[in-house]
Amino acid sequence: MADEIKIGAYVCKGCGLGERLNTGQLETTATRDGKAKFAKSHDFLCSADGVAMIQKDIDSGETNHVVIAACSRRAKAEAFAFKNVTISRANLREGVIWVRPDTAEAKETTQDMADDYVRMACAESKFQKQPAPSGEQTLCKEILVVGGGISGMTAALEAAKAGYPATIIEKSGQLGGVMAQLHRRVPTKAPYAQPEDTSVESLIAEISANKKVTVMLNAKVAKTDGAPGRFSVDIAVESGSVQNKMFGAIVQASGMKSFDANILTEFSYGKTPNVITQLELEALAKAANGGPIKRKDGKEVKSVVFVQCAGQRSTKPGHLSYCSGFCCTASIKQAMYFKDANPNVDTVVMYTDLRTPGAGGEDFYRSGQNKGVIFTKGVVNSVAPNGNDLTVNFKDLILDEEISMPADLVVLATGQLPNSGPDPYAVPMEADKNDAEAVAASKAAHEVAVSVESILNLNYRQGTDLPHLKHGFTDSHFICFPYETRRTGIYSAGPVRRPMDSWQATIDATGAAMKAILEAENAGKGMAAHPRSGDLSFPAFRKEGCTQCKRCTVECPFGAINEDERGYPQFNESRCRRCGTCMGACPVRVISFENYSVDTVGSQIKGVDMPDEFSEKPRILVLACENDAYPALDMAAQNKLEYSAFARVVPVRCLGSVNTIWLTDALNSGYDGVVLMGCQKGDDYQCHFVKGSEIAGVRMSKIGDTLKTLNLEEARVATYEVAITDVDRVPKLINDMAETVAKVGMSPFKF
Partner 1 sequence: MTDLNKQMVEQYRNSFLKEVEANVEEGEWVKMCMQCGVCSGSCPLGPYWDHPPQELFMMIRAGKREEVLASSSMWMCTSCYNCIARCPRELPITHIMHGLAHYAKRLGLAPKNQPTMKFSQKFWDNLMVTGRVNELKLGLSLYFMNGLVEGIKTSLKMKNIGLGMLLTKRMNPMEMLGGHSVKDKSGFKAMIKKAQELEAARIAKFKTP
What is the spatial distance between Cα 499 and Cα 256, in angstroms, rounded to a whole number? Answer: 8
Which of 340, 396, 599, 642 is the binder for partner 1 (CB under 8 A)? 396
Work out whether 127 is an interface residue with partner 1 (CB under 8 A): no
Work out whether 374 is an interface residue with partner 1 (CB under 8 A): yes
Residue 398 beta carbon to partner 1: minimum distance, rounded to whole angstroms:
4
What is the spatial distance between Cα 74 and Cα 89, in angstroms, rounded to a whole number? Answer: 10
Which of 366, 470, 525, 617 is the binder for partner 1 (CB under 8 A)? 366
What is the spatial distance between Cα 158 and Cα 160, in angstroms, rounded to a whole number? Answer: 5
What is the spatial distance between Cα 658 and Cα 700, in angstroms, rounded to a whole number? Answer: 10
The number of residues that bind partner 1 (CB under 8 A) is 15
Give counts: helices (H), strands (E), the chain. Answer: 19, 29
CA torsion angle 318 321 326 331 (round to 10): 60
Coil, strand or helix: which one is 127? helix
- Rank residues 370 and 639 by Cβ distance to partner 1 and give the closer one: 370
Residue 344 beta carbon to partner 1: minimum distance, rounded to whole angstroms:
8
Which of 398, 444, 449, 452 is the binder for partner 1 (CB under 8 A)? 398
Q: Which helix (H) or strand (E) holds 507?
A: helix 502-525
Work out whether 386 is an interface residue with partner 1 (CB under 8 A): no
Phi and psi angles of residue 515, each rounded to the nearest 5 degrees, phi first: -65, -35
- Rank residues 351 and 491 by Cβ distance to partner 1 and give the closer one: 351
Scanning 120-128, 324-332, 394-402, 417-425 for contacts with partner 1 by CB under 8 A, the matching segment is 394-402
Eight-class DSSP state of 103? -
Residue 308 beta carbon to partner 1: minimum distance, rounded to whole angstroms:
14
Work out whether 375 is an interface residue with partner 1 (CB under 8 A): yes
Residue 312 beta carbon to partner 1: minimum distance, rounded to whole angstroms:
20
- Rank residues 62 and 401 by Cβ distance to partner 1 and give the closer one: 401
Which of 174, 243, 369, 386 is the binder for partner 1 (CB under 8 A)? 369
Scanning 230-238, 393-401, 593-601, 690-698 for contacts with partner 1 by CB under 8 A, the matching segment is 393-401
Work out whether 441 is an interface residue with partner 1 (CB under 8 A): no
Work out whether 340 is an interface residue with partner 1 (CB under 8 A): no
Work out whether 403 is an interface residue with partner 1 (CB under 8 A): yes
Work out whether 266 is an interface residue with partner 1 (CB under 8 A): no
Work out whether 376 is an interface residue with partner 1 (CB under 8 A): yes
Eight-class DSSP state of 262? G
Scanning 233-241, 329-337, 397-405, 459-467 for contacts with partner 1 by CB under 8 A, the matching segment is 397-405
Scanning 171-179, 371-379, 414-422, 561-569 for contacts with partner 1 by CB under 8 A, the matching segment is 371-379
Residue 395 beta carbon to partner 1: minimum distance, rounded to whole angstroms:
12
Angle at 612 between CA 625 and CA 88, to 5 degrees: 35
Residue 186 beta carbon to partner 1: minimum distance, rounded to whole angstroms:
18
- Rank residues 225 and 389 by Cβ distance to partner 1 and give the closer one: 389
- Rank residues 346 and 628 by Cβ distance to partner 1 and give the closer one: 346
Neighbouring CB atoms inside 10 A of 387's CB total 7
Work out whether 372 is an interface residue with partner 1 (CB under 8 A): yes
- Rank residues 376 and 686 by Cβ distance to partner 1 and give the closer one: 376
- Quick check: 454 and 421 in contact, CB under 8 A? yes
Scanning 18-26, 237-245, 363-371, 559-567 for contacts with partner 1 by CB under 8 A, the matching segment is 363-371
What is the spatial distance between Cα 337 and Cα 352, in angstroms, rounded to a whole number? Answer: 22
Helix 150-161 vs helix 502-525: crossing angle, to nearest 10: 40
- Give buried/exposed letters for 633-662 (b at 16+ CB in 10 A, else e): bbbbbeeebebbbbbbbbbbbbbbbbbbbb
Q: Residue 56: which residues within 8 A CB-CB, separation 6 or more?
A: none
Which of 37, 161, 377, 395 is the binder for partner 1 (CB under 8 A)? 377
- Quick check: 91 and 99 in contact, CB under 8 A? no
Work out whether 354 is an interface residue with partner 1 (CB under 8 A): yes
Q: What is the largest CA-CA distance in the chain?
A: 97
- Quick check: 662 and 749 in contact, CB under 8 A? no
Binding site for partner 1 (CB under 8 A): 346, 354, 365-366, 369-370, 372, 374-377, 396, 398-399, 403
